[in-house]
Amino acid sequence: MYMIPTLEWLPEGVNFLDQTKLPLEETYVLATDYKQVATVIKNMIVRGAMAIGVSAAMGVALGIDRSTATTLPELSADVDLICKTLAATRPTAVNLFWGIAQVRDLYTQLAAKNTPIPQIKKAAISLARRLYDEDIANLRKLGAFGAALLPQQGTVLTHCNAGALAACGYGSALGVIRAAIEQGKKIDVFADETRPFNQGTRLTAWELVKDNIPTTLICDNMAGYFMSKGRIQAVIVGADRIAANGDTANKIGTYSVSILAKEHAIPFYVAAPFNTIDLATASGELIPIEQRAAREFTHVNGVRVTPHGVTVENPAFDVTPAKYVTAIVTERGVLRAPYDRSILAMANGAANQVELTVA
């Protein structure tokens, strides 16, 4: 399978594949300080919950490494600003805050021991790079668990992009599809275009074609039609935040697909690493929904296609209630309803099971 270099730590900074230019251009953006990493995340040059989490960790590490502070109190003040800046970029993806916390907590521990600043910098970079490797390894485990859920042969619908581009490699939803194909299953993909940012059109289709996985691109409003014709055997999507009860925030339009899947008795799977589950958020009603700029769909390739003066709403995500989710696939195993119980059991260590259902 083709390994897409979504982001990479370099001596000069963090190098990002510019996903706003795909599929027509494969160009990179080098962020040489934490403010530039924040801009890269905010402007969706890098996107996808898993990639955002690791990018945020690298942003904190980069900020620490480039700090000119000569004392721990000065460095602590810098770290607070670095973390605050990165946390303000994308509010829905809980992985963002997880990535920030990973490096911030390490810093706090080392600072409490009066660790020399050069050692702190080295440790922060080492952790950020390790999180990158762990993301790929975890998603391969996730993919293996999820592959068992897919049919031996059939078409799988996905919405948005939860592939290698949304992670450090391999992907969550698309990782499951990749793993199923690696196991010999005959799987092809229907990819929703995913308006208004067109992640399906630009990104999912691009990376699946790179992997020679049979892919059909459809408009968002075609999913129900193809389900009614028996053309889709399963749906699998990623997630930006999963509440403690299993409610799932994903790219806008996912909720509609889940209802269609339920109506047509098609399994609807969510694939996400366990750190996407936010135990501090009781239900989907409490998940903050990012509102993005109107220009994302009032303009196409910089050309306005809507009348001046029209009111625009552009929520980036919606929430799929847990009752529509057939299973949640993580690197620790597969969760089944009731999710409030199975998620808590997995969090408490009842993991590494192919199926985890708590009666």
Which among 6, 8, 2, 32 has a CA at the least distance from the CA of 17?
6
Residues linked to residue 125 through DSSP beta bridges, in sequence order:
none
* Spatial distance between the Cα atoms of 241 and 254, rounded to a whole number of angstroms: 13
Cα gap 264→102, rounded to integer Å: 41
Residue type, 5: P
3-state secondary structure of 184: coil
Calpha distance 309→62 (Å, rounded): 42
Q: Which of 108, 158, 119 is nearest to 258 (CA)?
A: 158
User: Closest Cα partner for 222 from 290, 287, 159?
Assistant: 159
- Angle at CA of residue 342, ends 336 and 348, nearest 5°: 145
Q: How far is Cα 177 from Cα 150, in angstroms, rounded to an integer?
A: 8
The answer, yes or no, to whether the previous bond of 151 is cis (omega within 30 of 0) is: no
Q: Helix, strand or coil for residue 21?
A: coil
At 157, phi and psi to the nearest 5?
-95, 140
Catalytic residue among 240, 247, 278, 318: 240
Which residue's structure tokens are 């195993």?
333
Phi and psi at residue 11, in whole multiples of 5°? -55, -30
Length of the chain equals 359
CA distance 248 to 283: 9
Q: Which residues contact 61 (CB under 8 A, 6 or more apart)?
A: 103, 124, 125, 127, 128
What type of residue sits at position 181?
I
Cβ–Cβ contacts within 10 Å for residue 262, how many?
Answer: 16
Rama region for 57: left / alpha / beta (φ>0; ψ in -120 to 50; rest): alpha
Active site residue 105: no
Which residues are part of the catalytic machinery?
240
